[in-house]
């Protein structure tokens, strides 16, 4: 079991009249190698779920075991290490550094891991080749289309070969054709063994995952596997 949430609560303003239960007793298990879409509308708790699963935040109550490790017992430094080594993040807005070129953007997480310059370059170039951008390494983000920028973000996410890819509305800023290509790439990563967790409000996008978990008011309302036509 790669991910296990048990009776997890994330409460803002606990005990106050304005208390908000962003996650309200959530239990969820995700096996290694799954492709899971977490679906919900604004206010459903899906962003909070992503923050908890991605070790960007910790539960108020309940247990979160990531590959057998109790996340709530970790220090900030240990949580940062997990984010750098075990989880590759892909966001809607790419989060690229505008004054760095493509290669330098992809190298960033490798720098944080203390990887030497030669190995860092090789790993970054390998990731860029996988997303079809090895010929654009000296370009700045502003010289690229939205789809190309998202592919840079994907290369950055996979450069460290993390076991988990977490994609938060990865097609939200893209046209439908380019978004389709990005979803296809996530499916290929899953075929190659990555565990993919896709956060979305869009049922059409969720249809590309092998399993759908629906959230409403901080609770799981549906959790089921589905047949998928791979892109």
pLDDT exceeds cutoff 70 at 65: yes
How far is Cα 205 from Cα 200, in angstroms, rounded to an integer? 7
Q: What is the reported pTM?
A: 0.93
Backbone torsions φ then ψ of 30, nearest 5 degrees = -130, 125
**Predicted confidence band of residue 17 (pLDDT cuts 50, 70, 90):** confident
- Pairwise CA distance, residues 212 & 52, whole Å: 18
What is the predicted pLDDT for the residue at 231?
60
Give per-residue burial for 104-141: e unless 16+ CB within 10 Å, then b: bbbbbbbeeeebeeeebbebbbebbebbebbebbebbb
Q: What is the pLDDT of residues 112-133, one digit of tens each?
A: 888 999 999 999 999 999 999 9
In the structure, what pLDDT confidence band is assigned to residue 18 with cuts at 50, 70 and 90? confident
**Res 218: pLDDT:** 97
Instruction: Report the alpha-carbon distance of residue 157 to residue 14 in Å, rounded.
Output: 34
Average model confidence (pLDDT) across the chain:
94
Q: 3-class secondary structure for 118-153?
A: HHHHHHHHHHHHHCCCCCCCCCCHHHCCHHHHHHHH
The per-residue pLDDT for 59 is 95
Which domains, from first to last, does the chain contain?
33-59+75-225 (3.40.50.300)
Work out the average pLDDT over 220-224: 96
Q: What is the DSSP letter of 162?
A: -
Q: How confident is the model at residue 84 (pLDDT cuts 50, 70, 90)?
A: confident
Neighbouring residues of 69: CB distance < 8 A, sequence distance ≥ 6: 82
The number of beta carbons lying within 10 Å of the beta carbon of residue 37 is: 24
């Amino acid at each position: 079991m790669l991910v296990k949430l048990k009776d997890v609560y994330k409460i803002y303003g606990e005990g106050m009249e304005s208390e908000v239960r962003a996650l309200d007793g959530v239990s969820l298990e995700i096996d290694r190698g799954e492709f899971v879409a977490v679906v919900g509308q604004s206010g459903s708790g899906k962003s909070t779920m992503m923050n908890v699963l991605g070790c960007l935040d910790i539960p108020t109550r309940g247990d979160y075991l990531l590959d057998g490790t109790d996340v709530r017992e970790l220090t900030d430094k240990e949580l940062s290490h997990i984010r750098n080594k075990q989880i590759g993040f892909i966001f809607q807005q790419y989060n690229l550094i505008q004054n760095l070129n493509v290669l330098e953007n992809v190298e960033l997480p490798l720098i944080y891991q203390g990887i030497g310059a030669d190995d860092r370059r090789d790993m970054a170039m390998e990731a860029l080749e996988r997303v079809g951008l090895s010929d654009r390494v000296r370009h700045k983000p502003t010289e690229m289309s939205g789809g190309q920028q998202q592919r840079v973000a994907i290369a950055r996410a996979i450069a460290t070969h993390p076991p988990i890819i977490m994609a938060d509305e990865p097609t939200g800023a893209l046209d439908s054709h380019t978004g389709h290509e990005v979803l296809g790439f996530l499916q290929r990563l899953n075929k190659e063994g990555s565990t993919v967790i896709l956060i979305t409000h869009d049922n059409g996008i969720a249809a590309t995952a092998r399993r759908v978990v629906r959230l409403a008011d901080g609770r799981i309302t549906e959790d089921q596997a589905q047949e998928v036509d791979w892109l």
